[in-house]
Amino acid sequence: MSQTWLGIREEVHRRLRDGEWKPGDLIPSEAALSDEFNCARATVNRALQSLAEQGLLERKRKAGTRVAATPVPKAMFQIPLLRAEVEARGSTYRYLLLKKSRRKAPRNISARMKLESAANLLHIKALHFSGDTPYCLEDRWINPDVVDGLSDVDFSQTSANEFLLRNIPYTQGELSLGAREANAEHAELLDIPETSALFEMNRSTWLDGLPVTTVTLLFPPGYTLSTTL
Amino acid sequence: MSQTWLGIREEVHRRLRDGEWKPGDLIPSEAALSDEFNCARATVNRALQSLAEQGLLERKRKAGTRVAATPVPKAMFQIPLLRAEVEARGSTYRYLLLKKSRRKAPRNISARMKLESAANLLHIKALHFSGDTPYCLEDRWINPDVVDGLSDVDFSQTSANEFLLRNIPYTQGELSLGAREANAEHAELLDIPETSALFEMNRSTWLDGLPVTTVTLLFPPGYTLSTTL
DNA sequence: TAGAATATATTGTCTATACATATTCCAAGT
DNA sequence: ACTTGGAATATGTATAGACAATATATTCTA
């Protein structure tokens, strides 16, 4: 009776669900399981690695595989590419550059980018539309020392969001989500009442330790980020 | 020159970053790459699968591997287990049951749970504290037909969040994040001004097609969900 | 020419084996 | 007791070979 790695993952998953193996327990070794399921060890390995990636198991060489003490569920989200997201909903995407200037980064920005010296950065503000309604307000800082060909790009047509996601690589990044009350400027630009609750997404990226860009995206009420578990 | 799958992933990743292979392009077959890197095909396979999981590549049998047209980054988030999250920050966790009743599910709830008939559900409201400050407001509906031993649990001590995450399995789930303006009730319970922007997390789960539970967690301003890319 | 059958290329997965690497455990020596 | 060193063990990964599954491309047939 030969098994597929998906089948084995499913069976192990069931044992975890049913409490046959409880949090903190050491489960049988790959060798033992490959014997039980009558398959190669590599197949068991594939299944267990998959469950470990999801955070249900913790594996250590020699120490064996144990059920995660606090099985923290993990969820994958797709980071929106604004144009694609709008067009996927059948609306026409439009983009408006509000501001583009070169200036010293304020404190909070250089902190977010982990900049030592207050470098001269490119600051961009832009609005993204879905049809005629504002979809997202973008506030971005770019490090011109790291981004090649930046001066060639006139951000009145291509959005910085798109340009950077498509062309500029990064090796590390941080992403955080939260909520923020709209201020007067937000309210006017996004065409919503003041005090509305905005969905906020912050992303910063680095290339080999050098800060590339940091951006805040603000979405008007009603926007949701969804995924399946 | 034998290679590791991580090394190959890194090299392929570099070629994507540097634009040697552009979005939409077909990249060489596993056989060709394993030849170039002088390693087994399985090793290349491991590397490419890893990149495909991250959304950078799209693979199809016979059709080959191509660079994702719109490389949508994906990010993994850890779903908070409230107690663990609070304690990890060094605060003491406290929990207060506000309401527990059995009633017919209102429209929006049965829609969210994809319930056909308006079943009799258990409705729970609770507050989670970090030290003395409210940390999260929980509003949950539970399907007693699916959750075993529900009547044995007195939710005044154990939070429903904890009980369900630890004991009740599910096979499918949905998760969505958003922002919402606080109303009078939220403001009072969370001890914040009205009109504050709350971070909202909705989770619903099913077990083999049967609805298990749906919950809304509301977090006061300042709460963020973070991850690294 | 259009549609159906067939060939073919590419990824998906399994097997068996081997060695690498990290970690635990125990025994020996101080 | 304490350290040190090695043996044992579980996972991590690489290899070669095989077959399966699935698109695509080609050829055949009506």
Q: What is the pLDDT along chain B (229 residues), one digit of tens a residue?
A: 457 999 999 999 999 888 899 888 999 999 999 999 999 999 999 999 999 998 899 999 999 999 987 766 778 888 878 888 888 888 999 999 998 989 888 888 888 888 877 678 889 999 999 999 999 999 999 988 877 766 667 777 777 777 777 667 777 889 999 999 999 999 999 999 988 999 999 999 888 788 989 999 999 999 999 888 7
Is residue B142 within 8 A of residue B102, CB to CB? The reply is: no
**Cβ of residue B92 closer than 8 Å to a chain A Cβ:** no
Is residue B135 within 8 A of residue B221, CB to CB? The reply is: no
The alpha carbon of residue B55 is apart from the nearest alpha carbon of chain A, in Å, by 9
How many angstroms separate the CA atoms of A84 and A91, rounded?
Answer: 10
User: Which residue do the tokens 């209102």 mark?
Assistant: B106
* Out of A133-137, A201-205, A208-212, least confident range: A208-212
CA of A108 vs C1' of C20, distance in Å?
A: 46
* Fold assignment, B82-219: Chorismate lyase (3.40.1410)
Q: What is the pLDDT of residue B1?
A: 47
Q: What is the pLDDT of residue A55?
A: 87
Q: Where are the domains of chain A?
A: 5-67, 82-219
Is strand D in 7 Å reach of the CB of B31? no
Is strand C in 7 Å reach of the CB of A1? no
Q: Do B180 and A174 touch (CB under 8 A)?
A: no
Mean pLDDT in residue range A197-208: 91
Is residue A53 within 8 A of residue A63, CB to CB? The reply is: no
User: Which residue do the tokens 């920050």 mark?
Assistant: B89
**Cβ of residue B200 closer than 8 Å to a chain A Cβ:** yes
Q: What is the CATH number of domain A5-67?
A: 1.10.10.10
If you count residue pairs, one on A and one on B, with CB atoms under 8 Å apart, how many are there?
A: 149
Mean pLDDT in residue range A151-179: 78
Q: Do B199 and A179 touch (CB under 8 A)?
A: yes
Q: In what order do the strands lie in the sheet with A197-207?
A: A93-104, A120-130, A133-142, A210-219, A197-207, A172-181, B224-228
Q: Do B195 and A195 touch (CB under 8 A)?
A: yes
